Amino acid sequence: MRRLLLSSLTVAALVAPAAAEITVGTAQGEVTLPDAPRTVAVYDMAALDSLLALGVQPAGTIENVTVPALRAQVQDAARVGTLFEPDLEALAGLAPDLIVVGGRSSTQLAAVSQVAPAIDMTFGPDLLSDARARIDGYGAIFGKAGEAAELNASLDAQLAALREAAEGQGRALIVLTNGTRMSAYGKGSRFGWIFEAAGLEEAAPGLDHATHGQAITHEFIAEVNPDWLFVVDRGAAIGEDGQGAEATLRSALVEGTAAWTRGQVVYLDPGAAYISAGGYSAMSLLMGQLTDAFSAADPS
């Protein structure tokens, strides 16, 4: 009887279907994963944003989620370290089927891969394209392809509305404030997707593409005299005390620019712009802000 039972189990094992797998594109190339992981740990805030939008609830994430809308949705998730220092013991205790890193946490890919399969979902220079590709990838991994298609269709519609509202709106400058310091960003930079999305002309072509932007002064802003100023407050994004963006910008020189005098200084949502940009909700929020600002502009 025992021999018959073992034979039956052997036959069942031979004819049982192999575990499903899915191949997805990542920042490190294509990776093959087991289909539909049940327990996921997320170290990238753009990934967290898009996964939550798809209805995927992470079992673990970083200790300090500074984006309020995301923090409210992961209150019950286990804390498994920081962007730069994963807690491998806590991660192992969580026993995830998949770990997602990206951006600031991408350097920890090798470390977390000791615990479970991990993917690097960092964005490349084309944020708009990569954001949609990542959503499609998550949809494939978690069996939510239909939901991913809906999110991307929504982004495409919002992008079309933004481009229509921004047509003929002039020249723009993107400024990041960090306490009393300021940096400017142009096409090809971490915030360059805004120029591409809106189809705007740069007020200061040829800016340094460095991660931290090109350091600027009030005199610089006055000299380039943008029609639009898009402002990201880094201190507010990371929850740091200190001088806010408006106080940093305010001076007689900046107040004399076309952007300031026309009321065309837009303070972008700091968390969405600096922390979770590329995530579905962040991109939707930012494109909505931009579209509303252009739509409300005085055409004269």
Structure tokens given for 196: 């591409």
Query: What pLDDT is stored for residue 300 in this prediction?
Result: 60
Averaged pLDDT, 237-261: 95
CA distance readout (Å), 158 to 139, 290, 296? 20, 10, 16
Averaged pLDDT, 233-260: 95
Report whether 104 contacts 276 (CB < 8 A). Answer: no
pLDDT exceeds cutoff 90 at 14:
no
* Percent of the chain scoring above 70 in pLDDT: 93
- The model's pTM is 0.91
pLDDT exceeds cutoff 50 at 51:
yes
> Domains (ranges, CATH) in the chain?
11-143 (3.40.50.1980), 166-296 (3.40.50.1980)
Render pLDDT for 104-158 as a digit per residue (tens, 0 to 9): 999 999 999 999 999 999 999 899 999 999 999 999 999 999 999 999 999 999 9
Choose among 168, 213, 166: nearest CA to 189. 213
Render pLDDT for 56-115 as a digit per residue (tens, 0 to 9): 999 999 999 999 999 999 999 999 999 999 999 999 999 999 999 999 999 999 999 999
Query: What pLDDT is stored for residue 1 in this prediction?
Result: 40
> What is the residue-averaged pLDDT of the chain?
92
CA terminus-to-terminus distance, the chain = 91
